[in-house]
Amino acid sequence: MLFFTQCFGAVLDLIHLRFQHYKAKRVFSAAGQLVCVVNPTHSLKYAPTRCAAAQASAEQGVLPPCHHHEAVHDPQLVPCTCPLFSCPWEGHLEVVVSHLRQTHRINILQGAEIVFLATDMHLPAPTDWIIMHSCLGHQFLLVLRKQEKYEGHPQFFATMMLIGTPTQANNFTYRLELNRNQRRLKWEATPRSILECVDSVISDGDCLVLNTSLAQLFSDNGSLAIGIAITTSKVHSSEAEM
């Protein structure tokens, strides 16, 4: 009996996923775009405790300020950069991706342009939606966070981090695009390195920021579809071009 109940549950989940996939396809019908359904994770930590260690490993001087400082034993080692958990892991930059996949079960997707479909936008803050994105020979971490910067007024913050050094990050431009209800919002920027602190990027507001009302206008049945594209950064030389 329990077996049948579980099977039924699994089938329902599949139907639900298929339905969400269909919804995203309807919004982003451009052929070949991969739609990835991303479920929320209620974030367990919000203090940027591991930033100091991350900063020590960063190549460039201009990094966002972090508030906690820890001793770094080996400058080659970086701490776990998962924005969800306070994780004691540290290791070389090259193995961050496999740590995030294996330990924190963060999915990884291939493709220059993908659609990130964040479900259950109504869940209370703090909540994170996270995936990794493999593209142009590098891996990127996309973080969508619902957070109350002003008490009682949750906002959504979306940013993309390169799992690499700041110098490598400067070679790319990422674009996040929302498109629904006769409205379109595009954010383009250079990704930050994961050695910088995702919490700082979000608290600085240097990312795509959505008020709840705007997030509702862009979402469909509680899901927010964000089109993501990554290019090598030739764009910035033509900063003047409109």
Nearer of residues 36 and 82 to a copy of itself, judged by Cβ: 36
Judged by DSSP in three states, 52 sits in: helix
- Least Å distance, CB 32 to a copy of itself, is 11
- Cis check for the bond before 126: say yes or no (omega within 30 of 0): yes
Nearer of residues 90 and 177 to a copy of itself, judged by Cβ: 177
Q: Which DSSP state fits 192?
A: E
Q: What is d(CA 235, CA 225) in angstroms, rounded to the nearest whole number? A: 24
Nearer of residues 3 and 150 to a copy of itself, judged by Cβ: 150
- Asked whether the beta carbons of 128 and 84 are under 8 A apart, the reply is yes
Q: What angle do CA 43, 49, 55 make, to 5 degrees?
A: 120
Q: Which residues make up the interface to a copy of itself (CB under 8 A)?
A: 26-30, 33, 113, 149-150, 153, 173, 177, 179-180, 182-190, 204-206, 209, 211-214, 217, 227, 229, 233, 235-236, 239-242
- Least Å distance, CB 30 to a copy of itself, is 5
Q: Where are the alpha helices (DSSP H) in 28-123?
A: 51-57, 96-104
Q: Which amino acid makes up residue 45? A: K
- Least Å distance, CB 109 to a copy of itself, is 16
Q: At which residue do the structure tokens 């290019």 appear?
A: 231
- Least Å distance, CB 2 to a copy of itself, is 43
Residues contacting 157, CB < 8 A, separation 6+: 143, 144, 145, 147, 202, 205, 207, 208, 209, 210
Q: What is d(CA 128, CA 145) in angstroms, rounded to the nearest whole number? A: 4
Q: What is d(CA 221, CA 236) in angstroms, rounded to the nearest whole number? A: 36
- Least Å distance, CB 180 to a copy of itself, is 7
Tokens of 242: 């409109």
Nearer of residues 82 and 162 to a copy of itself, judged by Cβ: 162
- Least Å distance, CB 165 to a copy of itself, is 17
Nearer of residues 35 and 82 to a copy of itself, judged by Cβ: 35
Tokens of 231: 């290019």
Nearer of residues 110 and 182 to a copy of itself, judged by Cβ: 182
